[in-house]
């Protein structure tokens, strides 16, 4: 079957990050090979004006927005200095405008719950939203899904595990269980003593994937897999006990689906985020990509092991939050964002990250805050703020100790 050349207008929220760069690379290849006509409507960045202007220029974007409102003038000046006559904006409203502008396909790749408002602006327009960001589904999953079904927006999973499952589910029925694979991160074989002294750079040195610092720390604690467990539950509508996690250090099998007849389908590729991004961009078709091809004989072995819950308690915490339901996942996510930030700023130790999240969850349970799912985005914001404040206090106590 030959694929049709297709046309798309797209926006990239979080264009200056790791996923943003991979998305730009996929667009460049689709254009250069004549597979697609792609118009780039909007790009956003956090605080790196130079990187944002580079992306806007390379992609030919019509609008560029920077999250930090103090950088409005710098962004204008940098565009002028490059001879780029595009519209610019800064601050939260400009990021929402980037999601709201008329693109048919929007990549959601801002890190953390900060992605929520700009992503919602795209979801509410009823277009295709490629979801790399997972924190939004963890903290406000039911509400985001409800908005998507109201507007008719199509959520296309980009997280490699969820994209793998999405690929395996095309045209299928009778799903029994999902199995998420985890690389095990940089500390898979480390002792607890060694982990206790781990530095931010060691935690960010992922053996298989090159990613932003927040998700890299999440991969080192295995909280990333915990967040992904909740993300999978939301996206595919399955309860916690029907989603399994297995450590697979080679990161070749990106996830698996077991069906009611005992059949198992999996998606495999070299670990390269361009593969799931391209699948989301061209879906229900595929794009030709120049990514490295698998050489199974050269790999020789694919191995699997159970996650060690003692050294990686974050995974157990996320499973517990998923089982508890209600607002527990939102507290888990908020506390984790604060704890990771404190670790990256060398305020707490690596093992304290899970400790801080655990304390915040415990306190939320004691207050009965957790029992009810947030019924509005205002409630999500309030729970998120509560979880952050609790985690900051827990981190400060550990710093003082
Ligand atoms: P990154 O840190 O490299 O990039 C994050 C992007 O968000 C950048 O453009 C940054 O400028 C922007 N940003 C940061 N803080 C912001 C804020 N407060 N407001 C607005 N913009 C802000 O991160 P990444 O690795 O590209 O990951 C992005 C998202 O995709 C995360 O949710 C991550 O979990 C998910 N994801 C990433 C990968 C990967 O391979 N990198 C894989 C799967 C899922
Ligand atoms: Mg993933």
Determine the average pLDDT of the residues in 67-79: 98
- Domain count for the chain, please give it: 2
Compute the Cα dihedral for 388, 391, 393, 395 and give only its sign.
negative
Neighbours of ion ligand 2 (CB under 5 A): 159-161
Determine contact, residues 353/343, Cβ cutoff 8 Å: yes
Question: Considering the chain, what is the average pLDDT of its residues?
Answer: 97
Residues 90 and 237 in one domain: no
Average pLDDT over residues 334-358: 98
Strand partners, 131: 108, 157
198/192 Cα distance (integer angstroms): 10
Q: Report the alpha-carbon distance of residue 380 to residue 321 in Å, rounded.
A: 15
Residues 138 and 179 in one domain: no
- Counting from 1 in the atom list of ligand 1, the atom nearest the Cα of 218 is 34
pLDDT level of residue 400 (50, 70, 90 thresholds): confident
Q: 113 and 261: one domain?
A: no
Minimum-distance ligand to the CA of 164?
2
CA 48 to ligand 1: nearest atom: 11
Model confidence pLDDT, tens digit, residues 194-239? 999 999 999 999 888 899 999 999 999 999 999 999 999 999 999 9
127 and 230 in a single domain? The answer is no
Q: Choose the final residue of a domain: 158, 183, 217.
A: 158
Please tell me whether the overall predicted TM-score, pTM, comes out greater than 0.95 for this model: yes
Q: What does the pLDDT read at residue 158?
A: 98
**What is the Å distance from ligand 2's center to 182 Cα?**
8
Statement: residue 1 has pLDDT above 80: no
Asked if 129 and 229 sit in the same domain, the reply is: no
Last residue of a domain, one of 133, 158, 183: 158
Q: CA dist 129 to 102, 121, 264, 293, 314, Å?
A: 12, 10, 28, 27, 29
pLDDT in tens, 253-272: 999 999 999 999 999 999 99
- Spatial neighbors of 225 by CB under 8 A, at least 6 apart, are 180, 182, 219, 245, 307, 315, 318
Q: Judge if 142 and 198 occupy the same domain.
A: no
Structural domain harbouring 75: 6-158
Residue 302 lies in a domain: no
Alpha carbons 253 and 271: distance in angstroms, whole number: 9
142 and 200 in one domain?
Answer: no
Ligand nearest to the CA of 216: 1
Q: Looking at residue 209, what is its pLDDT? A: 85
Q: Are 107 and 191 members of one domain? A: no
Domain's final residue, options 158, 185, 220: 158
* pLDDT reported for residue 208: 87
Indicate if ligand 1 lies below 6 Å from the C-beta of 341. Answer: no
- Does some domain include residue 278? no
pLDDT tens digits, one per residue of 269-320: 999 999 999 999 999 999 999 999 999 999 999 999 999 999 999 999 999 9
Higher pLDDT, 273 or 3: 273
Could you tell me which residues are beta bridge partners of residue 66?
45, 90
Checking if the pLDDT of 401 tops 80, the result is no
């Amino acid at each position: 079957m030959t694929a049709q050349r297709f046309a798309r207008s797209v926006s990239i929220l979080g264009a200056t990050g790791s996923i943003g760069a991979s998305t730009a690379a996929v667009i460049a290849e689709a254009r250069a090979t004549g597979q697609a006509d792609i118009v780039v409507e909007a790009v956003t960045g956090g605080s790196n004006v130079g990187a944002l202007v580079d992306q806007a220029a390379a992609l030919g974007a019509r609008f560029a927005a920077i999250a930090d409102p103090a950088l409005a003038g710098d962004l204008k000046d940098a565009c002028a200095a490059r001879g780029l006559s595009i519209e610019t904006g800064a601050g939260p409203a400009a990021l929402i405008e980037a999601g709201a502008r008329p693109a048919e396909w929007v990549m959601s790749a801002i890190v953390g719950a900060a992605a929520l408002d700009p992503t919602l602006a795209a979801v509410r327009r009823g277009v295709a939203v490629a979801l790399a960001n997972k924190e939004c589904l963890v903290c406000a999953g039911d509400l985001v899904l409800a908005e998507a079904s109201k507007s008719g927006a199509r959520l296309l999973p980009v997280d490699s595990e969820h994209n793998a499952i999405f690929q395996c589910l095309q045209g299928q029925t009778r799903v029994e269980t999902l199995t998420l694979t985890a690389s095990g991160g940089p500390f898979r074989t480390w002792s607890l003593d060694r982990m206790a002294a781990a530095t931010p750079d060691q935690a960010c040195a992922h053996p298989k994937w090159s990613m932003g610092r927040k998700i890299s720390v999440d991969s080192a604690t295995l909280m990333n897999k915990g967040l992904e467990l909740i993300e999978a539950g939301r996206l595919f509508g399955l309860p916690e006990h029907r989603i399994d996690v297995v450590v697979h250090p080679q990161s070749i099998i990106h996830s698996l689906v077991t069906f009611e007849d005992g059949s198992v389908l999996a998606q495999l590729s070299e670990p390269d985020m361009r593969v799931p991004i391209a699948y989301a961009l061209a879906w229900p078709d595929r794009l030709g990509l120049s990514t490295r091809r698998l050489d199974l004989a050269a790999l020789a072995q694919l191995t699997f092991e159970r996650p060690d819950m003692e050294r990686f308690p974050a995974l157990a915490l996320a499973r517990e939050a998923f089982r508890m339901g209600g607002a527990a996942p939102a507290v888990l996510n908020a506390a984790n964002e604060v704890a990771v930030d404190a670790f990256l700023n060398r305020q707490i130790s690596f093992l304290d990250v899970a400790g801080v999240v655990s304390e915040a969850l415990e306190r939320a349970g004691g207050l009965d805050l957790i029992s009810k799912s947030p019924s509005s985005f205002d409630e999500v914001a309030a729970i998120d703020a509560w979880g952050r404040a609790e985690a900051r206090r827990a981190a400060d106590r550990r710093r003082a100790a």
